[in-house]
Chain A
């Protein structure tokens, strides 16, 4: 598996791929397939189906690279093919991801309201005693190799599909908001709502893991 290896610029990648340079193909395949798998999982129902989606996408890339016009980045072009392939497959599996307006479960507070002082109390709406965020220790090595990776990966897998799609594109694949809005056909405002909800859920899981694991504090998990 490739880590965060630097990829050559797009024009180099594209011309090498057109020339049939196998190492370059292996490089992009290894660099992007993981993010593509997670994204595909937002649209289809099983891991096997996601893998087939990614495979079909790469086959389309292999056949289509000669006609790639460079109007978007290579990666965006690949992701567009993935989203279209995954959507078509998801529709067949009747697991449509309705994009556009927000669902009711995507509205409302992202932090358990019981963690704040209630109306009528002094300092209403401020963190309640003992419910405020506790200090974390999140050393980088632990993120790169340790269990924290697993905690985050699992939390992402558990996200509802639309939240997962936005979070993977923005925070794992590193796309800007405009690109994500266009890829998923959501408004900028809704994209931020979905992203915020997804990030808040992940922060909550990390909080439970990083503070709860050591203090055995129960009942703090976000719903």
Chain B
């Protein structure tokens, strides 16, 4: 396997979606190529960092409106 093929298979590899044969080729390249090992590691770090994101929420106006709506709705 070449590096340019490796970089396209990273998500399939992480998802366990590679055929057995491709997975062996992927892992074989990983064992031999420190640059692609770094690429895979950076890919994983990117995914982890994305998972740490606490996205911007809604505005405080909208939040207040929804809290009021919840209060009104649940009041008998």
Residues B20-76 near A (CB distance < 8 A): 33, 35-36, 38-39, 42-43, 45-59, 62-63, 65-67, 69-71, 73-75
Q: Are B3 and A203 in contact (CB under 8 A)?
A: no
CA distance A174 to B50 in the complex (A): 10
Q: How many chain-A residues does the 8 Å CB contact rule pick out?
A: 60
Q: How many chain-B residues does the 8 Å CB contact rule pick out?
A: 44
Q: Are A34 and B4 in contact (CB under 8 A)?
A: no
* Complex partner residue of B62 from A22, A51, A127, A140, CB under 8 angstroms: A51
CA distance A152 to B54 in the complex (A): 11
Residue from A3, A172, A196 whose CB has the most chain B CB atoms within 10 Å: A196
Residues A52-67 near B (CB distance < 8 A): 54-55, 58-59, 62-63
Q: Specify the chain A residue showing the minimal Cβ separation from B51.
A: A171
Where chain A touches its partner, the secondary structure class is: helix
Residues A176-194 near B (CB distance < 8 A): 177, 188, 192
Q: Which residues of B contact A (CB under 8 A)?
A: 2-5, 7-8, 10-12, 15, 17, 33, 35-36, 38-39, 42-43, 45-59, 62-63, 65-67, 69-71, 73-75
Q: Which residues of A contact B (CB under 8 A)?
A: 1-4, 19-20, 22, 25-26, 29-30, 33-35, 37-38, 51, 54-55, 58-59, 62-63, 109-111, 113, 116, 124-127, 132-133, 135-136, 138, 140, 143-144, 148-149, 152-153, 156, 167, 171-172, 174, 177, 188, 192, 195-196, 199-200, 202-203, 206-207
